[in-house]
């Protein structure tokens, strides 16, 4: 029997609730209803009084979680969609992120953000918010791309004393499957070489890792090019050492992300490689992001808006032809 990405998230929360009495879940419709995506289905019956419905106020949800964390609890907050977390922005970046630096008291809370686009979801339910939160010191931002990481990175996030923004991709929820959720034990802050190669490096994270692997496999079939794919796993902290080591092997870099291009993770990766690994490059580094427009509703427009294996192939061909 296979395990889906969302199964792993649910199992992580169940294990955390069972193992640590300080853990509780808080979010809109997550108790009896089981959440917008059913990630908490059945947990309120298993753990009475610890899976709590929240008002429709993301600001209040985050503020309550900050207070609970300061009092020694380990809250896991579910935002229905990552887009809605902007309403809680002040609580996350001005209170949770900076509190330890101001007082020496940690704020161990985890914000689950259902992130990224799906066909027909439109501009208010499809955004990728990871770069916005990664901009602020004091916040850990994780972007699991595998079933095993969905489980292990959630468990590790709740064990950290820092506030964590846990970006789980909605497209992966039931599409991505594995035999189990046991991984290789890599900690937050370490990237993974998902596919070895020697001609170019693609750095990606979250759902884009799978698009990058498909593109690499297609180019290998078409032309014999061997593309290395690096899964960042977390974007804050960013494992630039693994990226540089990969570029040292391949001499070429393409950074891919689903978020908007301005000031994104891909921009940070390219700038860091240009600054610290310019001597390793045989071609100018490239990046590929969603288009700089609101996310469209229509499935065909959405498919043209975000990076896909086809557009990654096209970018890699340009990079390899340089």
For the record, the structure tokens of 37 come out as 């995506």
Which residue of the set 125, 169, 210, 305 is catalytic?
A: 125
Per-residue pLDDT, averaged over 259-284, amounts to 97
The fraction of the chain above a pLDDT of 70, given in percent, is 100
* Residue 169 appears among annotated catalytic residues: no
pTM comes to 0.96
In the chain the first and final C-alpha atoms are separated, in Å, by 46
Question: Residue 248: pLDDT band by 50, 70, 90 thresholds?
Answer: very high
**pLDDT of amino acid 192:** 98
Question: Rounded to an integer, what distance in angstroms lies between the CA atom of residue 202 and that of residue 230?
Answer: 6
Question: Rounded to an integer, what distance in angstroms lies between the CA atom of residue 296 and that of residue 316?
Answer: 26
Question: Rounded to an integer, what distance in angstroms lies between the CA atom of residue 90 and that of residue 77?
Answer: 15
Contacts of 188 (CB under 8 A, 6+ apart): 140, 142, 153, 156, 157, 160, 233, 234, 237
pLDDT digits (tens, 9 = 90+) for 3-61: 999 999 999 999 999 999 999 999 999 999 999 999 999 999 999 999 999 999 999 99
Question: Rounded to an integer, what distance in angstroms lies between the CA atom of residue 98 and that of residue 151?
Answer: 27
Per-residue pLDDT, averaged over 284-303, amounts to 94
Question: Rounded to an integer, what distance in angstroms lies between the CA atom of residue 79 and that of residue 85?
Answer: 6
Contacts of 213 (CB under 8 A, 6+ apart): 194, 195, 229
Complete domains list, the chain, with CATH:
3-178 (3.40.50.970), 192-321 (3.40.50.920)
Mean per-residue pLDDT over the chain, rounded: 96
pLDDT digits (tens, 9 = 90+) for 102-158: 999 999 999 999 999 888 888 889 999 999 999 999 999 999 999 999 999 999 999
Q: Which residues of 156-174 are buried (b: 16+ CB within 10 A; e: fewer)?
A: bbbbbebbbbbbbbbbbbe
**pLDDT of amino acid 309:** 97
């Amino acid at each position: 029997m296979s395990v889906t990405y969302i199964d792993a998230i649910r199992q992580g929360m169940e294990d955390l609730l069972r193992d640590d009495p300080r853990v509780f879940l808080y979010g809109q419709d997550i108790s009896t209803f089981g959440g917008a995506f059913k990630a908490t289905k059945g947990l309120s019956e298993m753990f009475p009084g610890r899976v709590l419905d929240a008002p429709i106020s993301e600001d209040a949800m985050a503020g309550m979680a900050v207070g609970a964390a300061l009092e020694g609890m380990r809250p896991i907050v579910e935002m229905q969609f990552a887009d809605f977390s902007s309403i809680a922005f002040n609580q996350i970046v001005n209170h949770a992120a900076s509190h330890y630096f101001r007082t020496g008291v940690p704020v161990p809370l985890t914000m689950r953000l259902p992130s990224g686009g799906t066909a027909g979801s439109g501009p208010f339910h499809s955004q990728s918010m990871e770069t916005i939160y990664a901009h602020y010191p004091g916040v850990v931002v994780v972007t699991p791309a595998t079933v095993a990481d969905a489980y292990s990175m959630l468990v590790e996030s709740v064990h950290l004393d820092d506030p964590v923004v846990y970006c789980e991709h909605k497209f992966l929820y039931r599409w991505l499957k594995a035999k189990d959720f046991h991984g290789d034990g890599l900690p937050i802050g370490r990237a993974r070489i998902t596919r070895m190669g020697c001609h170019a490096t693609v750095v990606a994270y979250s759902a884009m890792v799978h698009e990058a692997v498909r593109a690499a496999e297609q180019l290998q079939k078409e032309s014999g090019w061997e593309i290395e794919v690096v899964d960042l796993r977390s974007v804050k902290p960013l494992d630039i050492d693994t990226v540089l080591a990969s570029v040292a092997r391949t001499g070429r870099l393409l950074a891919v992300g689903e978020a908007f291009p301005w000031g994104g993770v891909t921009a940070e990766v390219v700038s860091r490689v240009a600054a610290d690994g310019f001597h390793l490059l045989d071609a100018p580094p490239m990046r590929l992001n969603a288009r700089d427009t609101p996310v469209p509703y229509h499935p065909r427009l959405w498919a043209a808006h975000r990076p896909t294996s086809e557009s990654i192939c096209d970018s890699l061909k340009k990079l390899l032809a340089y």
